[in-house]
Chains A and B, each alone.
Chain A
């Protein structure tokens, strides 16, 4: 009749240590001498290690037989391993294992009072050991055994908890190390990023500088243009006035040849002054010096004035100028002078590039009811699609057979574009080479209040 005291599973290497510690504690608890405690612990250590090493684990059961004479501590170690191959040789002590071990079992038999080994190939091994208490030892009560078992269980739990804690703190340490690595990495990245940032900031500063330079250069150009235009206009006025004096015979008579030449001089001076005027207008707009003077006016009156202004330019009988009926169009509130300038430019352009046919000027209200479009349609040489953008840029001219004959600087249409922008509108062209072109300007019927147009203007002009 035996009482089980403790049961221990051999799953990890540390369980072998736990087994021999437990064996020692139990032996001490049962009243074995110090020497016997060491013997029992050593024997358990040997057998438990065998079970762990050769069978990958097993179980140790400690029990106490209080009924026998003498009382005995019973220890069973069992596993489900491959069994012991040369059991007899091992027991004899004649076995020499390749690992230099193989002395444990034989030694254990000497350390214990009883040691039975049952081993079946592939079914496992069971080692039953016993060590007797001295015959004169006092009898142990069930209560004492119980207390021993309970304290062992308590120790096992504590050991497990300690083990768990150790495991956790190890994990914590490795997590901390990882965190530090991560932080280092982050610091490195931040450093790199800062360097990049500095580079970007430096680059921005450089860009700003460049932009400033460009702006200054642009301003210089505008100032140069407006100054030069002023400087050019004065002598041109003199030339025109003087040629007029000559033509009016105020300084004596002119021969027919002389008159022809002076007329040519005056014509050239007038052309030049037109160009200079255009230049000056452009420069003024770019400098933001152009004022818009909105006023209320009617389209028919505008057309009448245009007709009066443009009819003298019609020198070729093959080309006629028509104005569409403007009745029913709403009155405009805009800058009449600037609109007139745009349309005059369109018409004089049309005259330049139309050899025969007609030039038609008209207007229509846009479907939205807030904008009006004026157009000048001709039957001239037309403009190829790829050139339609170029003509609105300064000094942009398209080479064609008529270009040689007519004069121009390529400033007219860019000026129109800028004037239209000043009026809150835009210019455009539809053209078919050989059939003719239609230039148009679309602008609001009611020019927006000054404040709005002023803030928009710089953007529209650049």
Chain B
């Protein structure tokens, strides 16, 4: 079973989604991520979706749910690198990713996480 790798940097976890995820893979990522937050006592999660050119309602909801779960586990979530067309489509689909912080790229995302920690 394939998996999306989760990297740790300091007290942040970094996930770069490079493949078009099918639904089960998305759910597996959600499980892995929450587990790693607890195990590594992570305070921030950065999800890079710059490689995704399609985010439908299921993936969008997964991202939104992951952010909510991370918050409950005392970790901030920042989604970075969303393509403009994906953003437009998400809004047209009626998804707003409420409660999810976003940043333009990884650098700005990390800065945002550092700033919030202080």
Contact = CB atoms under 8 A, between A and B. Distances in A.
Contacts of B86: 38
Q: Determine the interface band of chain B, counting residues with CB < 8 A from chain A.
A: 20 to 34
A240 interface: no
Interface string B66-95: 000000000000000001111011001111
Contacts of A100: 61
Interface residues of A, number: 27
B53 A24 contact: yes
Interface stretch (B6-14, B17-25, B106-114): B17-25
A126 interface: no
B83 A38 contact: yes
Nearest to A102: B57
B22 A101 contact: no
Interface of A: prevailing SS: helix
Contact of A38 (B24, B54, B58): B54
Contacts of A104: 56-58, 93
Contact of B54 (A13, A42, A103, A107): A42
Contacts of B58: 45, 49, 101, 104
Given A38-B54, A38-B83, A45-B54, A14 B61 contact: no
Contacts of A110: 92-94
A459 to B, nearest CB: 72
Interface stretch (A15-23, A220-228, A307-315): A15-23
Contacts of B89: 35, 38-39, 42, 111
B18 to A, nearest CB: 14
B47 interface: no
A14 B83 contact: no
A177 B100 CA distance: 42
Contact of A111 (B24, B84, B93): B93
B23 A38 contact: no
A103 B103 CA distance: 25
A30 interface: no
B55 interface: yes
Contacts of B88: 35, 38-39
Contacts of B21: 17
A107 B61 contact: no
Interface of B: 20-24, 53-58, 61, 83-86, 88-89, 92-95
Interface of A: 13-14, 16-17, 20-21, 24, 34-35, 37-39, 41-42, 45-46, 49, 93, 100-101, 103-104, 106-108, 110-111
A32 to B, nearest CB: 11
Nearest to B1: A170
A37 B57 contact: no
A46 B57 contact: yes
B94 A106 contact: yes
Contacts of A38: 53-54, 83, 85-86, 88-89
A45 B21 CA distance: 12
A20 B56 contact: yes
B85 A101 contact: no
Contacts of B54: 20, 24, 38, 41-42, 45
Contact of B85 (A21, A37, A46, A93): A37
A49 B94 contact: no
Contact of B56 (A49, A93, A106): A49
A107 B23 contact: no
8 contacts: A13-B24, A14-B22, A24-B53, A35-B84, A39-B85, A42-B93, A49-B58, A111-B93
A111 B54 CA distance: 13
Given A14-B22, A49-B58, A103 B85 contact: no
B23 A46 contact: no
Contacts of A20: 20, 54, 56
A17 B20 CA distance: 7
Give the most central of A37, A106, A107: most B CB within 10 Å.
Answer: A107
Contacts of A103: 57, 93-95
Given A35-B84, A103-B94, 6 more contacts: A21-B20, A35-B88, A38-B85, A39-B85, A42-B56, A111-B89
A336 B21 CA distance: 107
A100 B21 CA distance: 20
A21 B20 CA distance: 8
A13 B92 CA distance: 25
A156 to B, nearest CB: 15
Nearest to B92: A110
A93 B92 CA distance: 13
Contacts of A42: 54-56, 89, 93
Contacts of A106: 94
Give the most central of B58, B88, B95: most A CB within 10 Å.
Answer: B58
